[in-house]
Amino acid sequence: MSAPHRGQPATGATGAPPARSAAGASTTDQLQRALDRISRVRGVRGSMWVAAEDGIPVAQLLMEGVKGKAVAALAASLARKVSGAAAATGAGRVRFVQMEAAGGTLLVAPAAQDLLIVALADSRVNIGLVRLEMIRAAEAALA
């Protein structure tokens, strides 16, 4: 699969027509393509773009049974709290958050345009590979 196109900044979920890059790919296409790449990693149960401030899903690709709304809200809350902790300790900008639990792993990477890219994976996932795809998506999709 080809790398996501570099396009115009996202117009946001305001109902405005999606922005298109010179190559013709809309912002929605770019976001969806990034989710495709992440979700192809074995063990990933879903991935989504989330509005960091609001905790609302912007685009998502989830397996059946994954509660997207809940994951988005809680991932944004987690990211905000971790960013607060990082700021308080002088650690600087958070690049990646990994939360391992008994039933799986939640991964969050802040991206441009006040978005987060979030992945939900089970225990057999190759974290390094998902992390690589997420950071690549965060850096590239909305650049």
Site string for another protein, 55-74 (x = CB under 8 A): xx------------xx-xxx
- CB of 27 vs another protein, minimal distance in Å: 20
76's tokens? 């944004």
CB-nearer residue toward another protein: 100 or 114? 114
Considering only CA atoms, give the Rg of the chain. 15
d(CA 121, CA 123): 7
Number of C-beta neighbours around residue 85 at 10 A: 11
User: Residues binding another protein: what is the number (CB under 8 A)?
Assistant: 14
User: Can you tell me which of 58, 62, 76, 108 binds another protein, judged by CB under 8 A?
Assistant: 76
Please check whether residue 39 is in contact with residue 48, taking contact to mean a CB–CB distance below 8 angstroms: no
Interacting residues with another protein (CB under 8 A): 50-51, 53-56, 69-70, 72-74, 76-77, 80
